[in-house]
Amino acid sequence: MKRMKSYFIIPLLFLATSLFAQNRKIVGKIVGKNNEPIAGASVAVKGTNVGASAKEDGNFSIDAKGAVTLIVTSIGFNTTEVPVGADQSSVTISLTPTEGLNSAEIVVTSFGMTKSKRQLGYSVTQINGDRFTESRTANVGNALSGKVAGVNVSTPATGAAGSARVVIRGGSSLLGNDQPLYVINGVPMESSNLGSAGMWGGNDAGDGLAAINPDDIENISVLKGNTAAALYGARAANGVVMITTKTGKARKGVGIAFNTNITTDKALDFTDFQKQYGPGRDGTKPALASDALDIGNNHWGGKLDGSQVPNFDGKSRPYSHNGLGLNDFYQAGLSANHSLALSGGNQTGNYRFAFSDLDNKDIMPNASFKRQTFNMNVNSTLKKLTLAVSAQYTNQKAKNRPRLSDSPGNSNFSIFMFPNTLPLDAVLGKDGKGALADGNELRYQGNVFQTNPYWGMYNFYRNDITDRFMGNASLKYQLLDWLYIQGRAGTDFLTRDDASYTGYGTAFKPRGDFFETLTTIRENNLDLFIGANKNFGDLSLDVLLGGNRMRRTRENKGGGGNDLVVPFVHSVRNVAAPALGYGFSELGNNSIFAQANIGYKNYLFANVTARQDQFSTLSMDNNTLVYPSAGLSFIASDAFKLPEAISFAKLRGSWAQVGGGAPDPYSLNLTYGLVGAGHLGASLGAINNGSIPNQGLVPYLSSEIEIGADIRFLKNRIGLDIAYYNRNTTNDILATGISATSGFGSTLINIGELSNKGIELMLNATIVQKKDLKWEATLIYANNQSEVLSLGKNAAGQPIQFINLEESRVRRERIRHIVGQPLGMIAGYKQATDSKGTPVYTADGFPVATSGYEMIAPARHPISGGLSSILTYKNFKLDFLIDFRKGGHLVSGTNYFAYSFGLHQETLTGRDGSLKVSGVTAAGAQQTWTIPVDKIDNYYANYANITQNMVYDASFGKLRQFSLGYTFPASMLKKTPFESASLSVVGRNLLVLWSKVPNIDPESSYNTNGNSEGLEFFAMPQTRSFGVNLAVNF
């Protein structure tokens, strides 16, 4: 990348204004199922660059010489080749839908424009929308899991209204955002997470993808490499996910499509805690109610023998296992998603209007998520003028997003660690909400920061209401047959009201609190395109010039405080010391870009792009950057005669640079604020910055080389798509420490370097293809190897070896980036050993931890993949997806407390005083210890404090989705108003096929932030979903 002036010119020369004359003209019509016309289908004469597009009524005309073969392609349909005789002047061509896996030949690329896949020198994967509608998720991002090679989807355990974490090819930044840019109908959307749990707790406030209704999706294209995404410049460093929504089709009358999806959700319970010993200390049972309250969750008592033992409330109950599992507390969740769409069109236009309603009752009682979506697409063509308008309005209401991580208010913590002899009804309290008769929290154990699970559900209130409008309008004018100009305006506008309170009477905060915040986010995009597509004999030229103006604002207004003045009245003014907050930020980018696609004889294609971005958040002297890309595609099977077994062979290669991580608004400025109440009536001010602003900051630079091949065998029965990429990021923005005498602690500079390299593979096969039977399968596999190359130097000029990221509430571990290691390593305490590797123990025989943190294991999975299969027999269809990950680890807070509280199965060893350990003392003397019964709890507490013992291989395989459906035959529907109807039994997360993590799901993260990946601490259980999907068309 190199700096340039605020303008650059890409020459565009058209060497001719017409094609060579042809001998004759072929006219025809492209139709689909039920003979409906297919507008926009591409028609090409095989072996030449002669092509045409079908009009709105499906009609086309094309010049040809003699007998030819026409190749017809269209989004959502299989590519079809049709021979046309020398004396034949008209033809009707019928296309069949692409019901297979990842089979699209026409794909959606940058700015929502369609391209033939054969022309592209980079990797693009497109998935049809029907892959998201049956075994669906509330957040469409999670539905990408296991479907695209190189796309690693982490499904956090944060509740039905939670976010999705999608990372393409390992991400491009050490500390910045590593999730892709999402684009709907060519216009970027604001998709960032709106809040998440951290070490001290919180909840997942959701993200932008939760606003998307799967029934409105026509397809999703994933632009994985830098070359694929380069036209988006600094916004595309982590790839681009293109979402195209459905439009109407030309047809008679109004088409009505109705879909209903109803599923029930159940918590997946992996707990396998010991059931032989109950609450107590040193092998003895509680003797008094006060003992039981103080002991609480500590299961270091006697053997469960059924005897009557006093509990926290003074009542005596049998000292027996309560027989409870997680699903005795969590309720059966229910999700009902209904959608209705009206569509139609003719030769000059089409329309689609849709409404959907999602009503989810989460497995956490008193938690729910509701979403209503209105979607519209209208397209009209009048001679040379084409108008396209799409819009979506969404209203979301989330009630009591579950509290996660730290124990206060976290019902998950309380129920996982619940005393194993106590029935749940003992803590239900008044009205089943965990309260005493006086309205205060009903406590059943001595730690005020461990909340009654029912109090946590009903008295830690979280409510948010989101209204969102996303829309764009484009106007395209066809100046000449080969030249057009297009303008587009898009907006994404969101308002959100968040209200929360900690209930009056909460044990650790007796007078409670209340807070409310109103957030407004708006992003506007203006685009202008000039495009040309022309053939010159054997050469074809497709050129695009354009510009983009983006403006984004965010405003927060809020208030509240601690200690309610009037009990149970929740208002920003009903607190002891009301505090108000306000925040505002605004940024903008101005961009110009160009793209040229050059083809030779329809088998050799070169793709070249350049984009210049100008940033409002950078200094005026340093705010203009250029991102180039170049790609090459070679269709070897068209250029040479290959063995008959090879149906198609394409080689591709590309290079590109994109950027990202531009600083937040005002980061380059000194900011000021008022201090306290002032002095003698005068206001006092201070500099708010803790970091010295750096006027030389630029976005980081990500450079990538990609090579790949797409080879198909046996008349396209078998296909192999393989890619290798090598991406290096330089100038990543990191904070480096500076001398404290400067009055600041750090400054931001461009010093970070990292690399991601790997392979991606997609193997698809039509295993069986007979008249009534078809079986297709697709295997995807990706292996991404990341490495931290440099973290810069500290104030003393020494190389920085690691940077600390997040930690869980256990505070015995840290996620770190370490030079020379993969991104996101788990660091913590290991078992101390002598020089020979012999473990060191204390004088009492307890394990000794190392004196400081050491590197333990990588948190992130380098390997990801999936196996999809579709089996159709007559009108039946069986569809399943197996999703797998390998190589990542997690450090488990749940198992840490299971050891500490005596619930873990392994804590049974030594309860009878028989535990023997051998090692060396701190002085190096060999010794064997026998751990007495009254010290066994201390032994396991020390054992759990060694982080290494709580780190588990998080590799897994899951039956991610499943559906078994039946499509009613047309003969059965002949006397009904239905054009088509299908009914499916659907499921999601039905089975965990393999996992080595005890007591929890291997996907149990409480946060979607990459800096927290590998941390587990009492998130929600993952769920198994099972239900039905009915789709009918009128």
pLDDT tens digits, 590-621: 999 999 999 999 899 999 999 999 999 988 88
Rounded Cα distance, 311 and 289, in Å: 5
Please state, in angstroms and rounded to a whole number, the distance separating the CA atoms of residues 153 and 164: 7
Element housing 221 (H / E): strand 217-223
Residue type, 404: L
Predicted confidence at residue 20, as pLDDT, reads 33
Amino acid at 743: G
* 542's tokens: 């497709």
Radius of gyration, alpha carbons of the chain:
31
**What confidence score (pLDDT) does residue 6 get?**
35
Q: What confidence tens digit (pLDDT) does each residue in 245-268 have?
A: 999 987 888 999 999 999 999 999
The two tokens of residue 78 are 């299989």
CB neighbour class for 217 (10 Å; exposed up to 12, middle 13-18, buried from 19) = buried
Helix (H, G, I), strand (E, B) or coil at 156: coil
Tell me the C-alpha distance between 440 and 430, whole Å.
Answer: 10
Mean pLDDT of 188-215: 92
Q: How high is the pLDDT of residue 33?
A: 67
Enumerate domains of the chain plus CATH numbers.
1-97 (2.60.40.1120), 140-267+333-410+451-662+698-790+859-888+954-1033 (2.40.170.20)
Gap between the Cα atoms of 533 and 725, Å rounded: 30
Query: What distance in Å separates the CA atoms of residue 409 and residue 508, rounded to the nearest whole number?
Result: 10
Q: In the predicted model, what is the mean pLDDT of residues 304-316?
A: 96
Q: What is the DSSP string of 570-590?
A: --TTSBSS-EEEEEEEEEEEE
Q: What's the gap between Cα 249 and its chain centre?
A: 31
pLDDT in tens, 404-428: 999 999 999 999 999 999 999 999 9
Q: What gap in Å lies between CA 919 and CA 940, rounded to an integer?
A: 16
Q: How many CA atoms lie within 13 A of 876 on its CB side?
A: 6
- Residue 674: its H or E element: strand 672-674
Given a cut of 80, whether residue 436 has pLDDT beyond it is yes
3-class secondary structure per residue, 708-740: EEEEEECCCCEEEEEEEEEEEEEEEEEEEECCH
pLDDT digits (tens, 9 = 90+) for 915-926: 999 999 999 999
- The Cα–Cα gap between 987 and 998 comes to 24
Cα separation, 559 vs 565, in Å, equals: 15
Q: Residue 103 half-sphere exposure, CB side, CA atoms within 13 Å?
A: 25
- Whole-number pLDDT of residue 580: 92
For the cut 60, the answer to whether the pLDDT of residue 14 exceeds it is: no
Read off the pLDDT of residues 851-871 as tens digits, 9 standing for 90 and up: 999 999 999 999 999 999 999
CA-CA distance, 57 to 74, in Å (whole number)?
14
pLDDT confidence bin for 34, thresholds 50/70/90: low
The tens digit of pLDDT for each residue in 465-520 reads 999 999 999 999 999 989 999 999 999 999 999 999 999 999 999 999 999 999 99
Please compute the mean of the pLDDT values over residues 172-186 and round it to a whole number: 88
% of the chain surpassing 70 pLDDT: 96
- In terms of pLDDT, which residue wins out, 10 or 892? 892
- Given a cut of 90, is residue 734 above it in pLDDT? no
Residue 51 above 90 pLDDT?
Answer: no
Residue 664's nearest CA partner among 721, 584, 557, 777 is 584
Does 958 score more than 70 pLDDT?
Answer: yes
Of the two residues 335 and 349, the one the predictor is more confident about is 335
The CA distances from residue 834 to 812, 839, 922, 1026, in Å, are 22, 7, 9, 53
Residue 42: its pLDDT value, please? 78
Q: 98 and 73 in contact (C-beta within 8 Å)?
A: no
Question: Per-residue pLDDT tens for 69-121?
Answer: 888 877 557 778 888 888 888 899 988 765 444 445 778 888 888 788 888 88
831 touches 855 (CB < 8 A) = no
Query: Sorting pLDDT into bands at 50, 70 and 90, what band is 3?
Result: very low
| Token output for 467 | 């209204």
Please list the residues that pair with 71 across neighbouring strands.
44, 81
pLDDT band at 212 (very low <50, low <70, confident <90, very high): very high
Tens-place pLDDT, residues 142-152: 999 999 999 99
CA–CA distance, 727 with 705 (Å, rounded to integer) = 7
**Token pair belonging to 179:** 């999730």
218, 354 contact by CB (below 8 A): no
* Integer Cα distance of 697 and 137 in angstroms: 40
Contacts of 515 (CB under 8 A, 6+ apart): 498, 499, 500, 501, 558, 559, 560, 561, 572
Quote the DSSP letter at residue 839.
B
d(CA 449, CA 583): 31
Instruction: Find out whether 445 and 296 touch, Cβ atoms under 8 Å.
Output: yes
Q: Is the pLDDT of residue 18 over 70?
A: no
Helices (H), 711-834: none
* Of 1010 and 217, more confident: 217
Residue 227 backbone phi and psi in degrees, to 5: -65, -40
CB 95 within 8 A of CB 79: no
**Structure-model confidence comparison of residues 233 and 439, the more confident one:** 439
pLDDT at position 49 is: 63
Q: What is the pLDDT of residues 908-948, one digit of tens each?
A: 999 999 999 999 999 999 999 999 999 999 999 999 999 99
Confidence bin at 41 (pLDDT 50/70/90): confident
- Which strand (E) or helix (H) includes residue 971? helix 970-973
pLDDT of residue 1029: 96
Q: Please, are residues 187 and 1032 in contact by the beta-carbon 8 Å criterion?
A: no
Residue 337 tokens, joined: 């998603």
5 confidence band (pLDDT: 50, 70, 90): very low
**Regarding beta strands 24-31 and 90-94, do their DSSP bridges make them parallel or antiparallel, or are they unpaired?**
parallel
Q: Report the C-alpha gap between 621 and 618 in whole angstroms.
A: 8
Q: What is the 3-state secondary structure (H, E, C) of 5-25?
A: CCCCCCCCCCCCCCCCCCCEE
- What is the band of 12 on the pLDDT scale with cuts at 50, 70, 90? very low
* pLDDT tens digits, 389-402: 999 999 999 999 99
